[in-house]
Amino acid sequence: MKRELKTAIGILLACIVFFGALSALTRLAAPKYHDTLIDGHLTGEYYDEKTDHDVLFVGDCEVYENFSPVTLYNEYGVTSYIRGGAQQLVWHSYYFLKDALRAETPKVVVFNVLSLRYGEPQSEAYNRLALDGMRWGAAKVGAIKASMTGGEDFMSYVFPLLRYHDRITALTAEDFEYWFKKGDPVSFKGYMMHTGVEPAAETPQEIYEPNLPEQSFAWLEKIAALCEENGIALVLIKSPSIYPEWHPEWDAEIAAFAKAHGVRYDNMITENDAIGIDMQTDTYDQGQHLNVYGAEKLSRWFGKVLKEAYGLKDHRGEAAYDADYAALTERYEAEKQRQLSEENGA
């Protein structure tokens, strides 16, 4: 009996060491998304939020690079967060919204419609960027199942070592630095800042399907239904950009959807003048995304629209929000200066 007990304890200890080592190696091998591929850091940063938000943006790079929650608060007292990611597809947005609803119920959800052009999973790498940082729950399970491309398997999301084991032989200083350390946020309530300026240039003509995929609309229906169930106003937007192109047929389809569902749709491309966007100075990548100057202009314009249309409360003067946004603004301005200094070669 004593011998059997000793054996059992020995096996238990061996298993504890084994699973401990595997867990440590999993953390080491997983991408840290801190110094490189930082878009992957966005998803996880949402869970560090200390205050809730009246406006939740969901969508792709056209939201997380084009809207500044700092400006929205400082100008209008509107609290907001951007749950966006690189090539965030419509079902990612749906599940991010569902995930967010576990913690808070925003008054307005803003969804950028560009991602509707994709009705099928596109890339494993972007799936990982979007989903690695997501907290486990029914929403994450749904998001993974909806997103997996050929060759992916669910198990590798549950046990990331199965996916990232080959990184063990290609580790960088970043992996060791953030092995057990979380690291500072890379965004400003989901906004990714770029101070550079690269004026818009001629864009390639693309061949396109005149109709957006049916699957995309099925997911958009789900987003609309989720908002309705939770008493949230859904706003569809097409963020200002020159490329990828936004085609009139697609615009008409979205407008029809918005009309049918009684939701607001703003195609901001047509509002460039009103917003004051100048694609010679307000973009950092030739008109694909806005730089910080463009994002601030767009946020000033859109903040007013939201406030007027939905009567959003001005939270300025409330201690918790003021403290939160004061710290954020300080970090935001410091980052702006850092990037400007870097651009100027300082």
- Binding residues vs another protein (CB under 8 A): 7, 10-11, 14-15, 18, 21-22, 25, 124, 151-153, 155-156, 161-163, 165-166, 168-170
In whole angstroms, the minimum distance from the beta carbon of 124 to another protein comes to: 6
Residues 6+ apart with CB under 8 A from 113: 59, 220, 236, 237, 238, 250, 254, 265
In whole angstroms, the minimum distance from the beta carbon of 206 to another protein comes to: 28
**341 phi and psi angles, rounded to 5 deg:** -65, -40
Question: What ranges in the chain are assigned the alpha helix state H?
Answer: 2-29, 42-45, 61-64, 69-76, 90-100, 124-131, 138-147, 155-158, 161-164, 173-177, 214-229, 248-261, 272-275, 292-310, 319-343
In whole angstroms, the minimum distance from the beta carbon of 169 to another protein comes to: 4
Nearer to another protein, 20 or 183 (CB): 20
Residue type, 145: K
In whole angstroms, the minimum distance from the beta carbon of 285 to another protein comes to: 28
In whole angstroms, the minimum distance from the beta carbon of 140 to another protein comes to: 18
Nearer to another protein, 165 or 261 (CB): 165
Nearer to another protein, 22 or 326 (CB): 22
Task: Return the structure tokens found at 99.
Answer: 């995930």
Pick the closest to residue 237 from 58, 43, 41, 65 (CA basis): 58
In whole angstroms, the minimum distance from the beta carbon of 29 to another protein comes to: 8
Task: Give the pairing type, strands 108-112 and 80-84.
Answer: unpaired
Pick the closest to residue 246 from 223, 277, 224, 267 (CA basis): 267
Please tell me whether residue 184 adopts helix, strand or coil conformation: coil
Q: Hey, how many other C-beta atoms are within 10 angstroms of the C-beta on 111?
A: 25
DSSP letters, 126-149, are: HHHHHHTTSPSSHHHHHHHHHHPP
How far is the C-alpha of 121 from the C-alpha of 150, rounded, in Å?
A: 9
Nearer to another protein, 153 or 343 (CB): 153
In whole angstroms, the minimum distance from the beta carbon of 177 to another protein comes to: 21
Report whether 269 contacts 240 (CB < 8 A).
Answer: yes
Nearer to another protein, 12 or 256 (CB): 12
In whole angstroms, the minimum distance from the beta carbon of 157 to another protein comes to: 10
Nearer to another protein, 3 or 50 (CB): 3
In whole angstroms, the minimum distance from the beta carbon of 147 to another protein comes to: 13
Q: What is the DSSP letter of 327?
A: H
Q: Hey, how many other C-beta atoms are within 10 angstroms of the C-beta on 259?
A: 10
Nearer to another protein, 80 or 87 (CB): 87
Nearer to another protein, 151 or 317 (CB): 151
Q: Categorise residue 209: left if φ over 0, alpha if ψ from -120 to 50, beta otherwise.
A: beta
